[in-house]
Amino acid sequence: GVMERLGLGPEVLLQENPRLIYARLTGFGQTGKYAKSAGHDINYLALSGVLSKLGRKNENPYAPVNLLADFAGGGVMCALGIVIALFERAKSGKGQVIDASMVEGVAYLSSFLWKSQSLGLWSQPRGENLLDSGAPFYEIYRTSDGKFMAVGAIEPKFYNQLIKGLGLNLDELPAQMSFSDWPEMKKKFASIFAQKTQAEWCSIFDSTDACVTPVLSFEDAASHQHNKERSSFIKNDPGEISPRPAPVLSRTPAVPSCKRDPFIGEHTEEILLEYGFTKQEIAKLHSDKTIELKDLKASL
């Protein structure tokens, strides 16, 4: 209801421009019991059902910071909705309103979880399934130098490479999919990984298809050979490192800016003047705390 109170709701704006695509990104959506309720990523994740699947055995569900509902289920799905609406407008010539709910966005992202329940992938309690840390071959292990290796050797041919790299004999081990042996196998794998440094394990697995990779810090990720070869991370003028825009388009790739991020309110007056606001109107908006302007005075 915020935009309606400003007189800028979709009904008003679409009357003026029927081609307008109006995206409304909220946690709970435009209708329903929680529509006007406050919330954060963890709440939307909880209501979607996804949070119940995240976490280890005998532990509380775990929300992976605010990546899933806010950015993936919210921002990315809303952007996709805009792209779809633009595509449709090319045929109909009409705009429309996009109701992007983070609850529904992250639920839709988890369609694989819903659709694969009958396959037995999620038939066990949380933390005991193939992809949620239940399997010894889809897990994270600590190395002797306190770092970690990520293991994702699901397919038998990849699993065979994992076993070989660990120095084990496949014929002397339980079957890969013997669920009852998974806890013991995890202990065995953990004890072996703890005997070498992360660099040593990289030297063993980097040239294989064992699906074993180092768990890298931000700093290490930016300097890793693979990422450097692809220029996956960029450095701006102040020296801050961030990911390069993705995905990469062959003909019109994004050209990232290396300038520093703008300060809050740095360009507000400039842009409002460009759009016809007077200095008096801008001053009133600032005094009403509707907008923020860059503080040119030192705060001493």
The confidence score (pLDDT) of residue 296 equals 54
Edge-to-edge strand ranges of the sheet holding 212-214: 138-142, 148-152, 212-214
Boundaries of every domain in the chain: 2-119, 138-215, 259-299
DSSP-derived letter for residue 233 is E
Q: Is 220 a catalytic residue?
A: no
Compute, in degrees rounded to 10, the torsion defined by CA atoms 214, 218, 219, 223.
Answer: 60
Cα separation, 228 vs 168, whole angstroms? 33
- For residue range 228-265, what is the model confidence (pLDDT) as tens digits? 999 999 999 889 999 999 999 999 999 988 888 889 99
- 46 token code pair: 């909880």
Percent of the chain topping pLDDT 90? 88
Quote the pTM value.
Answer: 0.86
User: Is 153:162 a contact under the CB 8 Å cutoff?
Assistant: yes
Where residue 298 falls among pLDDT bands split at 50, 70, 90?
very low
- Between CA 144 and CA 152, with CA 149 as vertex, the angle to 5 degrees is 145
**Three-class SS of residue 92?**
helix
Stronger pLDDT, 84 or 259, i.e. the higher one: 84
**Cα–Cα distance, 192 to 185 (Å, whole number):** 11
Q: What percent of the chain has pLDDT over 70?
A: 98
CATH number for region 2-119: 3.40.50.10540
- Give the pLDDT confidence of 148-196 residue by residue, as tens digits: 999 999 999 999 999 999 999 999 999 999 999 999 999 999 999 999 9
Indicate whether 117 pLDDT > 90.
Answer: no
- The string of pLDDT tens digits covering residues 263-296 is 999 999 999 999 999 999 999 999 999 999 987 5
Per-residue pLDDT at 245: 92
**Could you report the per-residue pLDDT of 217-231, keeping only the tens digit for each?**
999 999 999 999 999
DSSP state of 86: H
Q: Catalytic annotation on 267?
A: no
**40, 145, 267, 295: the active-site residue:** 40
Residue 1 is predicted with a pLDDT of 79
What integer pLDDT is reported at residue 89 of this predicted model?
98
The whole-number average pLDDT for the span 29-40 is 95
Mean of pLDDT over the chain: 94
Using CA atoms, how far apart are residues 33 and 26, in angstroms rounded to an integer?
A: 14
Model pLDDT, residue 300: 47
CATH number 3.40.190.10 is the correct assignment for the domain at 138-215: no
